[in-house]
Amino acid sequence: MTKLALALLKRLGGMVVVLALVATVVFVIVRVTPGDPAAVMLGSDATPQDIAQLRTKMGLDAPLLVQYFQFLLGILKGDLGQSIFLGQSVTQALAARAEPTFFLTLFSILIAVTIALPVGIFSAVRRGTLFDQIVVTLTMVAASVPSFWLGLLLIQTLAVGQGWFPASGYGGPDTSFLERLHHLVLPAVALGVVNSALIIRFTRAAMLDVLGEDYVRTARAKGATERRVILKHALKNAMVPIITVIGLSIAMLIAGAVVTETVFGLPGIGNLVVSAVLRRDYPVIQGALLVVAAIYVLINFIVDILYMLADPRVRL
């Protein structure tokens, strides 16, 4: 077996272990609820019969260990349980709300990377200039802005003030895809701009690191053009930390999406989680946590593979 295949298998094994632990953490979180989760979910008006019924439905009357294995078995079968309030399975509820969250995350990361890579690279190349100082200051400020607050300011100025974009929602079921995308512009900008700060800082730092290396000096000495030195010699070697931070940003974007979707009234997974929390719909909270964490673990795995392709030393 090649070294690459072995390294891949090892990473795959690690991912399975982390996924199992993620499922365990999710299981534990719902069970630490003080008192009876069924009683908490149904509220103070519930009769003892209602509570007993829900306990049976959720499998809460089985011993804890049995509940745990049933939970794991359900996940393997793709069964995340039934929502208490939505009248549909958690998998259906998540699938129905996946589209806005997927496109919001995708556009935000595209906006963040489109801003961050050129600005970060240019800032490193022009280190110490006025441009660089402005970039360093602005990224610091952008990293301090809550994305939901930026979203509210954008709604106020560009949606309510200018009327250029819809202030909230995702359009009705008959809305065209383009119209739905129009609804995503402001939330994606709010999330993307805030998250570009971190990527700019990492890109700048990674570029500064490699620009001081001997091979960059050699490339310059042998007469390579500045463009070639930066894009071919420096950027290629700075890619590993940049890929890492982009992977990390996707996780942060998913977290940001929870709040941003609420601000913009987007019917996505974030909005689903918040309403589930307010209604104590534990199966939905549990399922959403699990799916989002699994996506994050998967992204990390893909980033790991990209590393190996970008830098053969990582395979060792």
Partner 1 sequence: MTLSSLTLPYAASLRRLFGNRAILAGAIILAAVVLAALLAPWIAPYAPNKLSIVNKLKGPSLSHIFGTDEFGRDIFSRAIFAGRASLLVSLGVVCISTVLGIVLGVAAGYFRRLDAPISRLLDAMMSFPDILLAIALVAALGPSLATVILALGITYAPRLARIVRGSTLVLRELPYIEAAVAMGLPTWQILTRHVLLNLASPILVQATFVFASAMLAEASLSFLGVGVSADMPTWGTMLASGREYMNNAPWLMVFPGLAIVFSVLSLQLLGDGLRDLVDPRLAKES
Which CB atom, from 104 or from 155, has the smaller least distance to partner 1?
155
Site string for partner 1, 30-69 (x = CB under 8 A): x-xxx-----x-----------------------------
Q: How far is the CB of 240 from partner 1 (least distance, A)?
A: 16
Which CB atom, from 294 or from 308, has the smaller least distance to partner 1?
294
Q: How far is the CB of 53 from partner 1 (least distance, A)?
A: 22
Task: Name the phi and psi angles at 82, rounded to 5.
Answer: -110, 140
Q: How far is the CB of 242 from partner 1 (least distance, A)?
A: 14
Size of the site for partner 1 (CB under 8 A): 56
Tokens encoding 38: 């069924």
Q: Is 255 in the site for partner 1 (CB under 8 A)?
A: yes
Which CB atom, from 174 or from 245, has the smaller least distance to partner 1?
245
Which CB atom, from 204 or from 233, has the smaller least distance to partner 1?
204
Interaction residues for partner 1, span 152-211 (CB under 8 A): 152-153, 155-156, 160, 204-205, 208-209
Which among 69, 304, 107 is positioned nearest to 191, based on CA atoms? 107
Interaction residues for partner 1, span 132-151 (CB under 8 A): 136, 140-141, 143-146, 148-149
Q: How far is the CB of 292 from partner 1 (least distance, A)?
A: 6
Q: How far is the CB of 250 from partner 1 (least distance, A)?
A: 10
Q: Is 274 in the site for partner 1 (CB under 8 A)?
A: yes
Which CB atom, from 34 or from 48, has the smaller least distance to partner 1?
34
**Looking at 8, 42, 224, 251, which residue binds partner 1 (CB under 8 A)?**
251
Only segment of 52-60, 174-182, 221-229, 285-293 that touches partner 1 (CB under 8 A): 285-293
Query: What does the alpha-carbon distance between residue 169 and residue 188 come to, in Å, rounded to a whole number?
Result: 13
Which among 139, 98, 100 is positioned nearest to 260, based on CA atoms? 100
Residue with tokens 């989760």: 37
**Looking at 4, 6, 25, 134, which residue binds partner 1 (CB under 8 A)?**
25
Tokens encoding 144: 């301090």
Query: What does the alpha-carbon distance between residue 188 and residue 260 come to, in Å, rounded to a whole number?
Result: 9
Task: Name the phi and psi angles at 188, rounded to 5.
Answer: -70, -35
**Looking at 39, 42, 72, 277, which residue binds partner 1 (CB under 8 A)?**
277
- Contact residues toward partner 1 (CB under 8 A) are 14, 17-18, 21-22, 24-26, 29-30, 32-34, 40, 136, 140-141, 143-146, 148-149, 152-153, 155-156, 160, 204-205, 208-209, 251-252, 254-256, 258-259, 262, 273-274, 276-278, 280, 282, 285, 288-289, 292-294, 296-297, 300
